[in-house]
Amino acid sequence: MNFERNIEKNEKILKDELSSDDVIFYSFSYHEKSCFAVYVDSMVDKQVLGDLVIRSILELEKDKTIDDIKTTLSNPECKTQEKIEDAVDDVLNGCAIICIDGEKKALSIDLKKFDSRAVSEPPTSAVLKGPREGFTESMKTNLSLIRRRVKSKDLKIEYLTCGKYSKTQIAIVYVDSICDLNIVKALKERINSLDIDGICDSSYISTQIVENKTSLFKQVGNTEKPDILMAKMLEGRIGILCDGSPIALTVPYLLIEDFQSSDDYFKSYYRANTERILRLISVIFAIYLPALFVSAQLFHLQIIPLNFLLTIVNSIKGIPLSPSFEMFFTLLIFEMLNEASIRMPKYVGMALSIVGALVVGDTAVRAGIVSTPTIMIMALSGICIYTVPELVDTVTFLRLIFLIVAGASGAYGILLLTCFIVIYLCATENFNVSILAPFAPLVKNDLKDTFYMTYVHRMDKRPLSLKPKNRTRRKLKNEEGK
């Protein structure tokens, strides 16, 4: 529906469309013409609206058309709208709409002003060395953090809107001379095809734009830090920012990404490699250790060295529960404590620690309900799981499944389940990129930055698994600079 010359009709239609108490209709006159401004109270900078917009209009000497007024206003984000629906969308997005009697257009001025959190270090990606800035819930702040790092004309930002009711702004960020533009196209198509009421967080998008929506493994990368997003974009990935979410998504995603930490590239080569291998071992321990311990006790006593076997035999003497149930019970308690510690107020945390350590740990062992090795293995597995925080959800679930399988059929069951997961992972791909790359399919060049990381100055090619347009990351020079 278009605006009409009769301002009263326009006002009536807008009032019908925007019938909410926080939508303000402010009437004023300009050269004896009736005018009104409409805006959402909590979203607009009223001082700027009064001082720089309405006052400027009132101070105009001649009776000017709305297009002339647009050019005289000192606001760059000013446009005219002919359709009422577009004007309504603008109002809901934080613009002020100004209608003047006799004009078939309305003036739309972007005057958004929200309270937002200050830029701070994200709690999930703390580093010892390196930048500490993190994304916030404000899209503009986040984009400025990226722009400040990538000052290239090749950095492209494309806006999309998603959510029937939330109309959330989504920005696709990429370096167009590096990334595969087919992936950008496919990504835009997938986001545009989303039919959803609202986007509460970027996680909503991450679960919707993947090919296998029920997958156990995540298929979209995420980060809360602009330096990581920048590094990923320079490797050929595409960033997705969602208004209201401090988590940026990245595609295509490789499983190995979660084993890489941003400070690996800022530390010594030796330390970084040690840490990466530790992360791999930790994840293996977290998944397999409880299962292997149970299966070794139940079916494969010959695998355990004699001295260790004697220790275990002594400690499990008199335990009423079977090894698998004992481990399952301990795991359950651990997960309950974990869940409670996240949700409960901090000042109750101390009590929880005491209950967890003393009641569950010490007393249960003394009472002969669980054995010491079981507690030890569960604790080790529980600690190991957090060395790769991005995989906590998946690893926790896998640990449980492996434990059940180990209790039922021992090491062979563990092997079969591992094979199943390998096939499942090999078959999982998103945007035609296998999440197991560069191991499956094997990409020799990309092995330089996996569990083993070569010197940063030797990473001369971008990851080929991501099919970048421009493969060369740095040109290697000899000592003479050639």
Partner 1 sequence: MSHTIKNDIKLRQVALVFLALMPVTKVLMLPSIVADFVGEQIWLPITLNLLFDALVVFLILKLGERYPNLTFYEIAEKNLGKVASKILFFFIGAFFFLKSLVPILEQKHFIDNTLYEVFPNFISFFPLMFLSAYACLKGLKVLGRCVDICVFFTVIGLLVIIYFSVSTCDITNLFPIFQKPHYNTVKAMFSSVIWFTEGAYMLLFLGKFNNEKNGTIKIMTCFLIGSVFVVAIAVIFYGIFGPIANTQVFAVSDMTIYTTKIINIGRFDYLAIFMLLFSKIFAVCLPAYTSTKFFEKCFSLDKALIPALIVNGLLLVAIFVFKDKFLAVLDFSNKYLNWYFVLMGYLMPIVFYLVLRRRKSEKV
Q: Which residues bind partner 1 (CB under 8 A)?
A: 298-306, 308, 408-413, 415-416, 418-420, 422-423, 426-427, 434, 436, 439-442
Half-sphere exposure of 76 (CA within 13 A, CB side): 0
Nearest-angstrom CA–CA distance, 190 and 179: 18
Q: How far is the CB of 302 from partner 1 (least distance, A)?
A: 6
E strands along 398-464, which residues? 429-430, 433-434
Dihedral angle, C-alpha 120, 121, 123, 125, nearest 10 °: 150
Q: List C-alpha distances in Å: 434 to 216, 252, 282, 471, 472.
A: 15, 9, 24, 18, 21
C-beta of 1 vs 284, nearer to partner 1: 284
Q: Classify burial at 309, counting beta carbons within 10 Å of its beta carbon; exposed 0-12, middle 13-18, buried 19 or more.
A: middle
Q: Considering the complex, what minimum distance in angstroms separates the CB of residue 450 from partner 1?
A: 12
Cβ 227 to partner 1 shortest distance, Å: 32
Q: What are phi and psi of 137, to 5 degrees?
A: -85, -5
Structure-token pair, residue 112: 């958004």
50 or 441: CB nearest partner 1: 441
Angle formed by the axes of helices 269-298 and 392-427, nearest 10°:
90
For partner 1, give the closer residue by CB, 290 or 361: 290
Q: How far is the CB of 23 from partner 1 (least distance, A)?
A: 55
- Taking the complex as a whole, the smallest distance from the CB of residue 270 to partner 1 amounts, in Å, to 23
Instruction: Based on DSSP, count helices (H) and strands (E) in the chain, helices before strands.
Output: 16, 12
| Residue 297: partners with Cβ closer than 8 Å, 6 or more residues away | 312, 316, 323
Strand partners, 107: 80, 98
Nearer CB in complex with partner 1: 332/408: 408
Beta strands 95-100; 33-40: pairing state: antiparallel
How far CA 104 is from CA of 9, 15, 316, 344, 353, in Å, comes to 11, 17, 85, 57, 68
- Phi-psi domain of 366 (left: phi exceeds 0; alpha: psi -120 through 50; beta: other): alpha
Q: Within 10 Å of residue 189's Cβ, how many Cβ atoms?
A: 10
Shorter beta-carbon distance to partner 1: residue 80 or 282: 282
> Cα dist. 334→172, 365, 375, 381, 383 in Å?
40, 15, 10, 10, 11
Question: C-beta of 310: minimal distance to partner 1 in Å?
Answer: 12
CA distance 413 to 433: 30
Nearer to partner 1, 58 or 423 (CB): 423
Q: Residue 217 Cβ, how far from partner 1 at the closest point, in Å? A: 14
- Min dist. Cβ of residue 231 to partner 1 (A): 26
What Rg value do the Cα atoms of the chain yield, rounded?
Answer: 29
CA–CA gap between residue 57 and residue 65 (Å, rounded): 11
**451/283 Cα distance (integer angstroms):** 12
Closer residue to partner 1 in complex, CB, 386/420: 420
Q: Which residue lies nearer to partner 1 by CB, 231 or 411?
A: 411
Closest CB 207 distance from partner 1, rounded Å: 23
Nearer Cβ to partner 1 (230/403):
403
Element (H, E) at 391: none
> Which residue, 75 or 418, is less far from partner 1 as judged by CB?
418
Peptide bond connecting 320 to the previous residue in cis, omega within 30 degrees of 0: no
Looking at the Cβ atoms of 15 and 300, the one nearer to partner 1 is 300
| Cβ pair 191, 171 in contact under 8 A | no
Q: CA 121 to CA 227: how far, in whole Å?
A: 12
Pick the closer one to partner 1 by CB: 301 or 358.
301
Question: Smallest distance, Å, CB 429 to partner 1?
Answer: 9
- Min dist CB 432 to partner 1, Å, is 11
**Contact indicator for 436, 468 with CB cutoff of 8 Å:** no
**Shortest CB 424 distance to partner 1, Å:** 8
